[in-house]
Amino acid sequence: MAIYPIDLTSQASIISSLQAGLTAAGIIDTVHYNTSPNLLVTLSCWTKPIKFNAPGNGRIYSYFGSSYASGANLNNTSTINADSVGTGASSVLVVTGDVVAVLENRGGSFTVKHVFAKLNDAGATEIAWGIEYLGRSNSTLWNADLASQMEAVGVQGTILTTGGNYYQSDILCLDGAYTQLATGVVGLKMLHRATGIGASHLVAGDDVVFEGGGCNSNNYYFPNCFLIEDGNSWAPAA
């Protein structure tokens, strides 16, 4: 199972179900702190400590740091996504061998995404991406290895293949000075379908689709969707 539902009943249930999903996927290396409303973990597939916070109203916030400090604190904390828009309606954790994503629907058209992955460069640079829709921009694309804002190239509008399917492409990734970092993100593709799907995610065969949106102080940064390869079919090793 690669899709793990998140129980939004309470702050405690959010934290509990996040930990339960990560544990079921077999990717928790260390649980540093688990007291509602905070969960601080290091994953086996992503080396920086991550903090998930459940501030109330069914929302989830995310952060990463250079190392664990104590209690609910990280050293050199960077905020991935911590916006108070909307009220949690449905959220899931999606895990594959390459991507970990928390995908939220905050009611109506509002979706909030927290994505942890690696670039396809020689150093397997770790990234943490916060993305929001509709028309929000209080989220950041991070090169987590450098704790610096990065950029990526989105493409406007829908593109279809000759067979009538949505076109998929690699995601060109850049540093803050718009110099190429990598030609793609491992396990994550750009899906050339317009935003506005009105859900935390969609299942497409073996894969999971989520919409783009705003980040890096631009409300319309990604006017397209993304596809997590094997997001619906991946399973942890027996």
103, 201 in Cβ contact below 8 A? Answer: yes
pLDDT of residue 135: 75
The answer to whether residue 10 is domain-embedded is yes
The token duo for 154 is: 């989105």
Q: What is the mean pLDDT of the chain?
A: 95
Check: CB of residue 52 under 8 Å from CB of residue 102: yes
- What pLDDT, on the 0 to 100 scale, is given for residue 134? 82
Q: How far is CA 43 from the centre of its chain?
A: 14
Q: Could you tell me which residues come within 8 angstroms of residue 234 by beta carbon, excluding any fewer than 6 positions away? A: 2, 95, 96, 97
pLDDT of residue 156: 78
Three-state secondary-structure class, residue 18? helix
The total of structural domains in the chain comes to 1
**For residue 38, is pLDDT > 70?**
yes
| Predicted pLDDT at 151 | 97
**pLDDT tens string 81-94:** 998 999 999 999 99
234 part of a folded domain: no
What is the distance between the alpha carbons of residues 108 and 64, in angstroms, rounded to a whole number? 28
Whether residue 183 contacts residue 119, with contact meaning beta carbons closer than 8 Å, is answered with: no
Q: What is the pLDDT of residues 142-172, one digit of tens each?
A: 999 999 999 999 887 799 999 999 999 999 9
User: Does 238 map to a domain?
Assistant: no
Task: Indicate whether 155 belongs to any domain.
Answer: yes
Residue 1 has pLDDT above 90, yes or no: no
Residue 233: inside a domain:
no
Gyration radius of the chain's alpha carbons: 16
Let me know if residue 126 belongs to a domain.
yes
- Kindly state whether residue 237 falls inside one of the protein's structural domains: no
For residue 77, the one-letter residue type is: T
Per-residue pLDDT of 172-202, as tens digits, reads 999 999 999 999 999 999 999 998 898 999 9
Domain extent, residue 168, equals 3-228
* Averaged pLDDT, 114-135: 95
Distance CA 94, CA 187 (A): 12
Assess whether pLDDT exceeds 80 at residue 63. Answer: yes
Give the pLDDT band of residue 117 (cuts 50, 70, 90): very high
Determine contact, residues 14/56, Cβ cutoff 8 Å.
no
Neighbours of 182 (CB within 10 A): 22
- How sure is the predictor about 42, in pLDDT bands with cuts at 50, 70 and 90? very high
Give the separation between CA 181 and CA 173, rounded to whole angstroms. Answer: 5
Q: Is the pLDDT of residue 115 over 70?
A: yes
